[in-house]
Structure 1
Amino acid sequence: MTKPAHDVVAIGNAIVDILSQSEDAFLAQEGMAKGSMQLMFSPEEADALYAKMGPGIEASGGSAANTVAGIAALGGKCGFIGQVADDQLGEVFAHDVRSVGIDFGTPARAGAPTTARCLIFVTPDGQRTMNTFLGASQFLPAAALDRDLIADAAILYLEGYLWDPEEPRAAMRAAIDIARGAGRKVAFTLSDTFCISRHGGDFRTLIADGLIDILFANEAELLALAEVEDFDAAVAKIAPQVPTLVVTRSENGAIALQNGTKASVAAEPIAKVVDTTGAGDLFAAGFLHGQAQGWDLEKSLRLGAICAAEIISHFGARPQVDMKALVAEKLG
């Protein structure tokens, strides 16, 4: 097998985030479940909520895209596959992704709907509540897959958020076949309990069929996937089913189990949590980058914790410091 040209190629929603500070009372008024993600099903619904937002910050986002942006900032070679529309937000997303060195060549889609956007309300405690209009991202066809790019990456990384629409779900299944046919690893993030409530059966089947090599979850997602209420019981149920299981636990750090070996790390100290948007995405970036470099479990987890701490220290889900320098300082 030839050495892959890319460390990670991700498939996910191509989204532009709009972040605004908010109060808990506003979330309650709008019927939002704090700290979760809900879908908006029309541009009119998105426009109506956008009109109620305070001053916002616009930045390219999308869970898997954030992860590969983090890996690129760490010095990894990455690619991204995701659907934008032929509009201004689509141009913004494509520019932002390419500007950090990520290979992105998915053709823009003509006509409606618009490029996806996510309206994110950040409360004073740093929690983010997301409202997503998937727009063009839910129409990623299998025909748009860059087969050579997928086959030439050590790891294919998929986000559960994109499993909801039928067309990209079929594209991701095709991508898994391409990656496994090329002898590459497949990583999957469960994304949100919302995704598990809708597609838990599919996720469990992917795992049972041996199609997932690295599974990412937070504590709530793991419990939902395992259909139990005890964390240790959930770990005991899911870990034997995947070669590598990574579980983040917010302020309680993270654990990973890999072929019978277990490692854990504490959360990286931080002066103040400003915005938790992208914390899991950047944790995955650090862990995957470490694994791609051949690091052991504990060091990969530590890098994930360092990346997550940087992200939650500021607004937005993309790194704002020299990540290579930060890692050199923290890990030596």
Structure 2
Amino acid sequence: MTEPTLDIVAIGNAIVDVIAQADDSFVTSEGVAKGSMRLMDEATSDSLYSRMGPGREISGGSAANTVAGMAMLGCKCGFIGQVADDQLGAVFQHDIRANGVAFDTPTRPAQPSTARCLILVTPDAQRTMNTFLGASQYLPASALDRDLIASAKILYLEGYLWDPEEPRAAMRAAIQIAHDAGRKVAFTLSDTFCIARHGDDFRKLIAEGTIDILFANESELLALTGDSDFDAALGSVSAQVETLVVTRGAAGAVGIQKGETASVPAEPIERIVDTTGAGDLFAAGFLAGQAQGRSLEDSLRMGAIAAAEVISHYGARPEAKLDQLIASRLG
């Protein structure tokens, strides 16, 4: 078995975020629950875009945000995701490569266009995401770079991309490649709507031992298990995975790894501006800590620091130098 040359390779939606401020009444008029994520077709996305206020275009996508954050923390990262041969596709390619992440998935020459997420940020900093998956949902197994996947210590997958059939098949193939190479598989549940649609798949992956590292927030964990008691849900899932990490918003986060439990409070922050990407960057900090050989508690703290940075400004990619920020707070 060859030694890994990368810390992580992620497979996820290749999305460009368009972020705009909105009041509660605008969100309500869209018929979507504030703070949630909904999928939409291209025509509906175009209609909403025309009615939004001035926006900022920033490359996003859950797993892409995570590897971008890890790259900023000195990790060697790769990403696999599908963009179209269009302007937003070029934006995404440039941004992720500029972060030092290996990204060589061939562009898709035909319609639909590159995925975009229209994010409405209300005055309380909650983000309501309206996503057109576009080209990202057409990632084929043939686009997988087998050598890239096998070269990484961890394969990281996002639950959001489990929805379309073609990338779901690609991720199953990637899991097999990673396991054949003796690598670990990490998975983030992404959203309760993903669990509502694919909970049986997720529970089967976990029960079969396919997932080594699982990320969830408290709501997702409870939705996955059907429990109303957090501790009961924590115990049942942690018994099935090597590492379980659960974020709890202002209450911090808890991790269980091979029987060891650690918890950390949320990092203090002067003002929450936009919660987009908080979970993605928490995963980035945690996984970077693990790659650096840090303890479970220190890895959780790194996650909390990275998450606090990203919610202090608009957009799901860090603006501060994460490595310096963590060094100043953690050493």
TM-score, normalized by length of structure 2? 0.99
Per-residue deviation, residues 112-161 of structure 1 (Å, max 9, x unmatched): 00000000000111111100000000000000000000000001000000
Separation in structure 1 between the aligned mates of residue 132 and residue 238 of structure 2, nearest angstrom? 33
SS of 1:155's equivalent in the other structure is strand
- RMSD over aligned Cα, in angstroms? 0.6
Q: How does 1:113-132 map to 2 (within 5 A)?
A: 113-132=112-131
Aligned to 2:152: 153
Aligned to 1:39: 39
Separation in structure 1 between the aligned mates of residue 236 and residue 37 of structure 2, nearest angstrom? 26
Aligned to 1:313: 312
Aligned to 2:26: 26
Alignment of 1:15 with 2:25, yes or no, is: no
Structure 1 stretches of at least 4 aligned residues deviating more than 3 Å after TM superposition:
none
Deviation at 1:326, TM superposition (A): 0.7
Separation in structure 1 between the aligned mates of residue 70 and residue 13 of structure 2, nearest angstrom? 17
Separation in structure 1 between the aligned mates of residue 255 and residue 2 of structure 2, nearest angstrom? 28
Partner letter of residue 21 of structure 1?
Q
Aligned to 2:88: 89
Partner letter of residue 45 of structure 2?
A
Figure out how many residues of one structure are paired with residues of the other and give that number.
331
Per-residue deviation, residues 230-265 of structure 1 (Å, max 9, x unmatched): 111111111101110000000000000011110000
Deviation at 1:314, TM superposition (A): 0.3
Aligned to 1:290: 289
Alignment of 1:304 with 2:303, yes or no, is: yes
Separation in structure 1 between the aligned mates of residue 324 and residue 69 of structure 2, nearest angstrom? 14
Separation in structure 2 between the aligned mates of residue 83 and residue 197 of structure 1, nearest angstrom? 25
SS of 1:187's equivalent in the other structure is strand
Aligned to 1:187: 186
SS of 2:294's equivalent in the other structure is coil
Aligned to 2:243: 244
Deviation at 1:287, TM superposition (A): 0.4
Partner letter of residue 69 of structure 1?
A
TM-score, normalized by length of structure 1? 0.99
Deviation at 1:2, TM superposition (A): 3.1
Aligned to 1:264: 263
Separation in structure 2 between the aligned mates of residue 309 and residue 85 of structure 1, nearest angstrom? 32
Deviation at 1:3, TM superposition (A): 2.6
SS of 2:89's equivalent in the other structure is helix
Partner letter of residue 24 of structure 1?
D
SS of 1:216's equivalent in the other structure is strand
Separation in structure 2 between the aligned mates of residue 230 and residue 330 of structure 1, nearest angstrom? 33
Partner letter of residue 303 of structure 1?
M
SS of 2:273's equivalent in the other structure is coil
SS of 2:78's equivalent in the other structure is strand
Alignment of 1:4 with 2:4, yes or no, is: yes
Partner letter of residue 263 of structure 1?
A
Separation in structure 1 between the aligned mates of residue 36 and residue 182 of structure 2, nearest angstrom? 35
Per-residue deviation, residues 177-232 of structure 1 (Å, max 9, x unmatched): 00011000000000000000000000000001100000000000000001111111
Aligned to 1:54: 53
SS of 1:241's equivalent in the other structure is coil
Identity %: 71
Per-residue deviation, residues 71-102 of structure 1 (Å, max 9, x unmatched): 00111110000000011110100000101100
